[in-house]
Amino acid sequence: MTVAWTIVALTLLPLAGWLLAIAVVAGRRAWRRRGDESARRLRLARMLGRRELVMIPTADVDLPESAVLEVADAAGFRFLGYERPDTLLSRRVGVFVRAGGSVDVAIRRPARLSR
């Protein structure tokens, strides 16, 4: 192999890395979308569990927002909103809190003015 071919191969290496990364992301997305809607609803209910505060990436759920809100309400959770990281490649994350739990009470309680 000559020096010229070595330089060409080294120049194309970043492109090959990006293509591999795109293939991995597409494969992970397809793997998460396995199962029908009832299976995805059950997976979301298990993700919510029995904790007080839950943060779930929307890509992990792959359900319409109305279905996510139905499952969360049935599990006793209230949707607070989305937490959006500042990077372009990160996923949107939904934040849920158990309705009536200690975190929910602390959030809803009016702030006292300290003197």
Q: What is the CATH number of the domain that holds 65?
A: 3.30.1370
Q: What is the pLDDT of residue 11?
A: 92
Say if residue 26 is in the same domain as residue 39. Answer: no
Q: How many CA atoms lie within 13 A of 70 on its CB side?
A: 10
Reduced 3-state DSSP string for 74-88: HCCEEEEEEECCCCC
Encode burial over 69-95: b for 16+ CB neighbours within 10 A, e otherwise: bebbeebebbebeeeeeeeeeeeebbe
Say if residue 76 is in the same domain as residue 59. Answer: yes
How many domains, the chain?
2
Q: What is the pLDDT of residue 97?
A: 93
Q: In the predicted model, is pLDDT for residue 37 greater than 90?
A: no
Q: What is the pLDDT of residue 108?
A: 85
Q: In the predicted model, is pLDDT for residue 26 greater than 80?
A: yes
Q: What is the pLDDT of residue 113?
A: 62
Supply the range of the domain harboring residue 70.
35-115
Say if residue 62 is in the same domain as residue 21. Answer: no
Query: Residue 56: CB partners within 8 Å, gap ≥ 6?
Result: 44, 47, 48, 93, 94, 96
pLDDT, tens digit, 9 for 90 and up, residues 49-96:
888 999 988 777 878 888 999 999 999 999 998 887 656 677 788 899
Say if residue 2 is in the same domain as residue 46. Answer: no
At residue 29 the predicted structure's pLDDT band, cuts being 50, 70 and 90, is confident
SS3 69: helix
Say if residue 15 is in the same domain as residue 71. Answer: no
